[in-house]
Chain A
């Protein structure tokens, strides 16, 4: 291995390892603050950044809170249950963190320093990036079950089992909605997908793209165990699920892994549907694309926080039903609609199969506005009707009721 290669590898990875954990710290603060405001509280506001608190009276909105939390976590006692499987108990949080970190490098964030390194080190240039992404995030399931099993706690076990069922089920709609994008670009390469959406050609601005984005986002919530799909760690039912028996730094690792996974999956959503780093001003100032990318990630995370502040959680059977009886048929239908539109626009030809033929995105651009409008309305109508029908099928009797009064 040449020195050059090592340098390039470091240049490509170390910033990621620094930036995202820092953002994680910031996100925990943001989440606490936002949830507090949603609940009409004030949130952390006392811990300042060192040197601002004692020098003056600024506590900088409690921005020092994550640091204090981190220090607290580090110094906490590491408790391992007597009967736990010590090895796996230790490995699980590490294994939870690694895949989450690993997939970060598939995000096509155009860091300025990355341009002058060798192509072979640019991970996101990988041709199968999207597939790789799903393959590696799938490892997370293993970590969660490992934690649940190794703790030898019944709640942990229940949490672990819930996690497996949930993550495996939601992976399918997740992948199927990503298929739409692959259909539109004709490539699995993350950078190519992002480049295809330069300007305002984001895939969320197509009917199937919009539907796929919504499905993707819902499935992503479930994949990262966010409310309302936080069953594996349902506090009111099974204490803390698979990490009931974790404390101190191991718990912090789980926590970190969870947030990094959130970044990763939001990053993927941004890449697939929200135009990657595209945004106003990028053409003039290329480094703005990094900012735009992060802003979009944070916008998605803000919605996640908002949902968390609003919704209660689903029940196990409803969760599975939702994945298999609602999201899965819808995403298949969505692919079908996208395919038909492709067929229609291409005038009956098989399109997009090889690179020379036009793909759906280009066909949409070239089409008559009336046809496009028709496609929008038609596609969304079909999807809405289908969604409603599926909803009626599984929740026919669930509706608000009338009550009687006695004088």
Chain B
């Protein structure tokens, strides 16, 4: 029969309030239901309070960068799909942007419009399901998640019609897109975009005023403005901490300067899970605005520029980045005159945003650690590469 003495050797004894007690070490993951993939948190608990937390990752390492260095430039395009497998379109775009800088290809206007449409649809997909997962981590029985997945499904249908695949789209090419969208696609897209706000209203009604969600998320996992900046956090997480920084506005890459849209951010005195959740909710509305403008403005024309048949750039170093739904996704390429990149480096927003996990979790409850992780929005495919 097991007794306390049999268990004790595993535990580290500490003195607290004159009592000899011990911390509970729990290894959350890699097969914990809410670590969003194969991710592990080594948590030390005092009762339910987190006193130490060590993120452990790398379980999903697939050697992405080294593979790409031994492959033609085009060959690693399908592999970028698998970085952040929720948002293959923006991954493609960031890589295409970098490669286009290497050889300076003009992207046709219609392709640019379609790229913006795809990227903003991706943002909707990501944010809507992230919110669903986040509320799931809070303990709701998947109801918001399933609503989100219904909407995601409609957008994935659009992706499938355009690119042939729902998630691993592999749709972007250097100098444009692989193929034009089929006939009637724009109308279907407009339909989806028009109906999205209806769904968002319902979603907001379900979630945004719920007392339990408010008290669970407010004041939990605060990330200060300074820490966010010095840790290199990007994306909605940075804006929730009060920094107005959106690469769509800063770089104005592609044709983003043609659209009217706003970037929601906070005044930066809290930066908690609620802010991160709300910034994403608000960002979806702005994405819809962009989508509407893009769907109205798109014209006819080719979708693939005059890309060279054999992609063999001159020696150069480039960095291409986009505002992916999770943050700044960048590709750094060094070309050495051969058809393969000499160096291929990904700047994954998930990984860099994850670095502050420990700082946000200390002193919180173990249940909060889960939702803080959820609010960071990681995809392990991108963290581990």
Contact = CB atoms under 8 A, between A and B. Distances in A.
B2 A395 contact: no
A41 to B, nearest CB: 7
A55 to B, nearest CB: 34
Nearest to B139: A313
Contacts of B370: 236-237
A176 interface: no
B212 A228 contact: yes
Interface in B210-236: 210-216, 218-219
Contact of B215 (A154, A158, A395): A395
A158 B267 CA distance: 37
A154 B26 contact: yes
B143 A38 contact: yes
A315 B147 contact: no
A395 B214 CA distance: 10
Interface in A114-136: none
B208 A406 contact: no
Contacts of B210: 311-312
B26 A313 contact: no
Contacts of A395: 211, 215
B34 A314 contact: no
B219 A397 contact: yes
B365 interface: yes
Interface string B345-370: 00000000000000000000111101
Assign chain B's interface to a size class: 35 or more
B366 A237 contact: yes
A160 to B, nearest CB: 13
B262 A406 contact: yes
A237 B367 contact: yes
Contact of A403 (B216, B219, B265): B265
Contact of A401 (B138, B143, B278): B278
A87 B307 CA distance: 72
A407 B48 contact: no
B310 interface: no
A405 B26 contact: no
A312 B214 CA distance: 11
Nearest to A36: B146
Contact of A316 (B48, B142, B209, B213): B48
B140 interface: yes
Interface in A147-196: 152, 154-155, 157-158, 162
A312 B262 contact: no
Contacts of A312: 135, 138-140, 210, 212-213, 216
Contacts, number: 132
B32 interface: yes
A397 B218 contact: yes
Given A38-B143, A85-B1, A316 B367 contact: yes
Nearest to A317: B365
B365 A401 contact: no
B323 interface: no
A398 interface: yes
Contacts of A35: 141
B274 interface: yes
Interface string B274-306: 110011001000000000000000000000000
A404 B143 contact: no
A317 B215 CA distance: 11
A87 B1 CA distance: 9
Interface string A313-339: 111111000000000000000000000
- Which of A154, A157, A162, A227 is the most central at the interface, judged by chain B CB atoms within 10 Å of its CB? A154
Interface of B: 1-2, 7, 24-26, 32-34, 45, 48, 135-143, 146-147, 150, 206, 208-216, 218-219, 244, 246, 249, 262-267, 274-275, 278-279, 282, 365-368, 370
18 contacts: A38-B143, A39-B142, A39-B147, A41-B146, A157-B24, A158-B48, A227-B139, A234-B367, A311-B210, A312-B135, A312-B210, A315-B216, A316-B365, A316-B367, A403-B265, A405-B265, A405-B282, A406-B246
Interface of A: 35, 38-41, 83-85, 87, 152, 154-155, 157-158, 162, 227-228, 230-231, 234-239, 308-318, 395, 397-401, 403-407
Q: Which 3 A-B pairs have the closest CB atoms?
A: A313-B139, A312-B138, A405-B262
